[in-house]
Amino acid sequence: MKLSFDPKILIAHRRDKYWTQEDLAAASGVSTRTIQRVERSGGGSLETWKALAAAFEETPEVFLKSVRPSQNTAAEKRNALFGVTIGCLGGLIGCSFGWFGLLQSFEGLQHTLAHNIVELILVTVASAFCLVVPVLTWRHLQN
């Protein structure tokens, strides 16, 4: 497994100590040119990173990039879709109760639907959103 070091972490450590690249070179025994290359590209051997870490009294692992599993694995897709679907189902149930409440208020208050058209439109849009989002999410995850 190839280690991938993050030059931004190195730069942040150096700046926290108010060191120039030359100061880090003196403290680590690594040439200034190598430090410039490492900070620019994140390259460098494990030995270089060990020397740089020692200058900060750290271990080289501090400078490793956070490794994330490959994106869009089947499990990640299922988990994402499951979360979105459950959230939307909850919203749909809430919208259904909203519809029920509006209809009951119309019957109880003898209002026509025209009096509450804005509320009806909002509940309809919310219901449609709760049905469309899982489909769009699934399509997105397929890519």
CATH code of the domain covering residue 30: 1.10.260.40
Mean model confidence pLDDT for the chain: 77
Question: What is the reported pTM?
Answer: 0.46
- pLDDT-based confidence at 1, cuts 50/70/90? very low
Number of domains in the chain: 2
* Residue 2 counted as domain residue: no
My answer on whether 52 and 80 are in the same domain is: no
* 107 assigned to some structural domain: yes
56 and 85 together in one domain: no
Asked if residue 1 is part of any domain, the answer here is no
| HSE-up of residue 100 (Cα within 13 Å, Cβ side) | 6
pLDDT in tens, 102-123: 666 666 655 555 666 677 777 7
